[in-house]
């Protein structure tokens, strides 16, 4: 790929250029991504709360201190799960929509993006499962985490470490999934190329001038 093409792609990422008529569909895809990710976040955090409640009560509750305190912990954990993932899901949906909408009709763009969300879910879930296994190994030797445990007043450090590793793996898996889905969408033949010159990854990207 030539330097001019790479620069053009970077410019399009920073300064999006597309038909205004595409915007509602792109925003709808972003909204769907936000909702799907938010539901995943709720379920994910409910599960990891079961493994280590202290990870939330002594760390996440502090980070999300603006949430209401007069609710059951499970409800608060669900709020944290939604807020922590919905924003990223919206951003991921935006990028997927920017690739799909110029290459497909609106209906097909939504369909292929939903398929991409499914693949993204599987990759993120797999990363979380791998994180669970790796967290189990990390929890066998908590020496490196003792300072963190002391700082937050953690009583049961091993499950805390496991949940921390699960969360880290989930974020990494999410970004890997986004890259895989973007490449997959770009390589999938379009059903309706409305204006290739405005596609996010156009083969002949315009300059930022």
Residue extents of the structural domains in the chain:
23-193
Q: Is the pLDDT of residue 198 over 90?
A: no
Q: Is the pLDDT of residue 29 over 90?
A: yes
Q: Which residue has better confidence, 9 or 23?
A: 23
Q: Is the pLDDT of residue 78 over 90?
A: yes
* Residue 138 in tokens: 């990390």
- Per-residue pLDDT band for 31 (boundaries 50, 70, 90) equals very high
Residue % of the chain over a pLDDT of 90: 57
- Per-residue pLDDT band for 15 (boundaries 50, 70, 90) equals low
Task: Output the pLDDT for position 209.
Answer: 32
Give the DSSP per-residue string, the chain: --HHHHHHHHHHHHS----GGGHHHHHHHHHHHHHHHHHHHHHHHHHHHHH-SHHIIIIIHHHTTTS-SSS-HHHHHHHHHHHHHHHHHHHHHHHHHHHHGGGS-HHHHHHHHHHHHHHHHHHHHHHHHHHHHHHHHHTT-GGGGHHHHHHHT-S-HHHHHHHHHHHHHHHHHHHHHHHHHHHHHHHSPPS--S-GGGSTT-SSPPP--
Task: Output the pLDDT for position 129.
Answer: 94
What mean pLDDT value characterizes the chain? 85
* Residue 200 in tokens: 């996010």
Is the pTM higher than 0.95? no
Task: Output the pLDDT for position 56.
Answer: 95
Task: Output the pLDDT for position 205.
Answer: 37
- Per-residue pLDDT band for 12 (boundaries 50, 70, 90) equals low
Task: Output the pLDDT for position 105.
Answer: 85
């Amino acid at each position: 790929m030539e330097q001019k093409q790479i620069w053009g792609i970077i410019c399009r990422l920073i300064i999006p250029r597309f038909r205004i008529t595409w915007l509602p569909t792109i925003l709808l895809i972003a909204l769907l991504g936000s909702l799907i990710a938010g539901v995943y976040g709720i379920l994910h955090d409910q599960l990891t709360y079961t493994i280590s409640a202290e990870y939330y009560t002594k760390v996440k509750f502090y980070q999300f201190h603006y949430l209401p305190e007069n609710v059951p912990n499970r409800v608060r954990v669900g709020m944290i799960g939604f807020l922590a993932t919905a924003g990223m899901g919206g951003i991921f949906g935006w990028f997927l929509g920017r690739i799909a909408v110029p290459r497909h009709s609106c209906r097909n763009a939504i369909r292929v993006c939903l398929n991409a969300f499914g693949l993204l879910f599987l990759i993120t879930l797999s990363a979380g499962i791998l994180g669970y296994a790796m967290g189990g190994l990390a929890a066998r030797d908590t020496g490196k985490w003792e300072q963190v445990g002391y700082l937050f007043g953690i009583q049961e450090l091993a499950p805390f470490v496991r949940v921390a590793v699960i969360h880290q793996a989930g974020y990494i898996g999410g970004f890997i999934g986004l890259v895989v889905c973007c490449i997959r969408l770009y390589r999938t033949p379009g059903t309706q190329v409305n204006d290739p010159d405005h596609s996010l990854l156009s083969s002949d990207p315009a300059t930022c001038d």
